[in-house]
Amino acid sequence: MSNNLLISDPPFRSLKGKSKGSAKILFVNVNLRAESKGSELLPVGLASVMTYVDKVGGYKFDLLDINIDKITDSKVEEFIRSTNYDCILLGCIVTHYKWVKWFLCMARTHHPNATLVVGNSVGSSCPEILMANSPVDIVVIGEGEVSCLAALEAVRNNNDLREVDGIAFRDNSGAILINKKRKAANINDLPMIEWNYFDMERYVSAETIQLEAYGSEHDKQMRVMPMITARGCAFKCSFCHYVFWDDPYRHRSPGSIVEEISRNVEVYDVNYINFWDDLSFASAKQVEPIVDAIIASGFEFNWNAAVRVDLFARNKLNRKESIRIATKMRKAGCRAVSFSLESANQEILEMMNKKINAADFGETVYVMRKAGISVTTAVVFGYPLETKDTIRETFDMCYRFKVYPSIGFLMPLPSTGMYAYAKENGYITDEDVYLDSITERQDITLNMTKMSDEEIMNEIESGAEALNNLLNLNLTKDTYIRTAGKQMQDPQNDVELVDQRNLKRKENQLSLSYSEAAFDQRKEFGLSE
């Protein structure tokens, strides 16, 4: 596609001046994992934006749900070509950058006058790059509800887009403008997500396969929905970027959480809720009000949540108190918690800005299992400091506590400290080309270690093999990394608890030179000193 077509006159013409009722609007739910079964997951963020545009804005729209129907690209194009929308909106994770660019170019080719809007991290974390390399008109940055509606209203009423906070757009000359940040919403005031735009029955009953891993007695009748209880996170790890990065970490009130659970149980008959938060509870203190409200509601359902290794340690709770809280979580239906170890090597954890002590991992595993809650964890290999020893150190920790982790590699994502590091050190030279290439953390995207890919893989395979044998998971070389959820089965036997604070950590050779060399870089990347 020629650059002329990409940055022609802002193509808001067909939406401009339309009445609300006559504006033809299309939301698109993308398919992140084309071939994968079990990837029919409801898009909470997109649905929340749609709900806001409908309930608060009073707009009507259609939905093209590519995900549930696994619609092929050629059928998507056929649909877009044969319809005539004034505005097309979509949003997803930045790893889908290449596909989103394809979609935007394709839609622009068929509808030069339509307004193309993109939200979520594919736009938020790299607005200039996406705008420079695709014909998108408006990028909604971060929290989407308020800015998306304001942008639609501004275009339709021919108002100045510079007045809309939280968006990037192209002005009449083709220049890319990024407006000031919008105010973070009070998340208790947002309308409850309306799910009826989606084919709910198919979505709610689609997740059985993944949930078998939680060992629930209801596996075959699992009816699952996602919800969020919080937005953002209280931390800023150097490999991570979430769309609420610049907003405060916010929790919904227990009342509003229970209200949504109650609707989901009563209307959609769900018995399992995925709390899809970046961080459901930053510390044990936040747990009790929510689990108390769930217990008091009397609704019977199971759930999982995202916490951190230091859930109990942050509040300096003793083991008895930690087990009391975990037992209450279990009573409220909590079946599994995820908390990422990322690495057992403290220098790497520091470069990650993770702000956890690897020594707390075993205690949290122990407490959760004692309360009957399964644990899942993730590790990230491939920080510049990684060596065979540090990989081993991480596997040793998993082995000691009998946890098979979700294994991934550092995949520098835009707007993260490690993306800046990769650019600065010449690993990323053309951002557009790089973003076209990123896939999932299960693939080695950029190797910034001193080891070859093969050396890394060999070390990982040997650690994974030992764990696989220990836990009898029946994984094979091909499934050590892509396990299809098998690793989520928790061992029935209790782990032996050792006080890890007394264990001596193995030093790796690079650690010294890193601490010296990286002192300035840490400041630069906003890492802790």
Closest to 62 in 3D by CA, of 93, 34, 24, 92: 24
Q: Nearest distance from residue 415's CB to ligand B12, in Å?
A: 7
Closest to ligand SF4 by CB, 341 vs 464, is 341
| Cβ-based nearer residue to ligand B12, 120 or 394 | 120
What are the residues facing 62 on neighbouring strands?
Answer: 26
Parallel, antiparallel, or unpaired: how do β-strands 272-275 and 224-227 relate? parallel
Which of ligand SF4, ligand B12, none is residue 365 near (CB under 5 to 8 Å by kind)? Answer: none
As a whole number of angstroms, the distance between CA 330 and CA 323 comes to 10
Pick between residue 33 and residue 328 the one whose CB is nearest to ligand B12: 33
What is the per-residue DSSP string for 342-397?
A: B-S-HHHHHHTT----TTHHHHHHHHHHHTT-EEE-EEEE--TT--HHHHHHHHHH
Residue 114, number of CB atoms within 10 A of its CB? 25
Residues of this chain that interact with ligand B12 (CB under 6 A) are 32-33, 39, 41, 43-46, 48-49, 89-91, 93-96, 117, 119-121, 125, 140, 143-145, 148, 228, 240-243, 276-278, 413, 440-441
Strand-pairing partners, residue 25, are: 87
Q: Name which of ligand B12, ligand SF4, none residue 376 binds, using a CB cut-off of 5 to 8 Å depending on partner kind.
A: none
Q: Which of 265/307 has CB closer to ligand SF4? A: 307
Please report how close the Cβ of residue 513 comes to ligand B12 at its closest, in angstroms.
Answer: 29
The rounded distance, in Å, linking the Cα atoms of 237 and 510 is 21
Binding of ligand SF4 by 379 (CB under 6 A): no
Nearer to ligand SF4, 10 or 45 (CB): 45
Enter the tokens of residue 115. Answer: 């307004």
- The residue written with tokens 């000031």 in the block is 180
For residue 355, the minimal CB distance to ligand SF4 (Å) is: 8
- Of 245 and 268, nearer to ligand SF4 (C-beta) is 245
Tokens representing 275 are: 């709390």
Question: Which partner, ligand SF4, ligand B12, none, binds residue 90 by CB below 5 to 8 Å per kind?
Answer: ligand B12
In the complex, what is the shortest distance from the CB of residue 158 to ligand B12, in angstroms, rounded to a whole number? 20
32: Cβ–Cβ under 8 A, 6 or more apart, which residues?
Answer: 39, 67, 92, 93, 95, 96
| Nearest distance from C-beta of residue 72 to ligand B12, angstroms | 17
Lay out the site mask for ligand SF4 across 212-251 (x = CB under 6 A, - = otherwise): ---------------------x-xxx--x-x---------
- For the record, the structure tokens of 294 come out as 């769930």
Near ligand SF4 by CB under 6 A: residue from 279, 341, 367, 385 = 279
Q: Which two tokens stand for residue 421?
A: 């590091």
Whichever of 278 and 363 has its CB closer to ligand SF4, that residue is 278
Residue 80's binding partner out of ligand B12, ligand SF4, none, with CB under 5 to 8 Å set by partner kind: none
Interacting positions 499-528 with ligand SF4 (CB under 6 A): none
Q: How many other β-carbons are positioned within 10 Å of the β-carbon of residue 140?
A: 30
How many other CB atoms are found less than 10 A from the CB of residue 118? Answer: 27
Q: Do 341 and 378 form a contact (C-beta atoms < 8 A)?
A: yes
Task: Report the b/e string of 141-163 with b at 16+ CB within 10 A.
Answer: bbbbbbbbbbbbebbbeeeebee
Binders of ligand SF4 among 290-349, rule CB under 6 A? Answer: 308
**What's the closest the beta carbon of residue 224 comes to ligand SF4, in angstroms?**
22
Q: Quick one: 108 or 314, whose CB is closer to ligand SF4?
A: 314
* Coil/strand/helix, residue 1: coil
Least separation in angstroms between CB 146 and ligand SF4: 23
Q: Cβ 406 to ligand B12, closest distance in Å? A: 8
Nearer to ligand B12, 46 or 460 (CB): 46
Q: Interface residues with ligand SF4 (CB under 6 A)? A: 233, 235-237, 240, 242, 278-279, 308
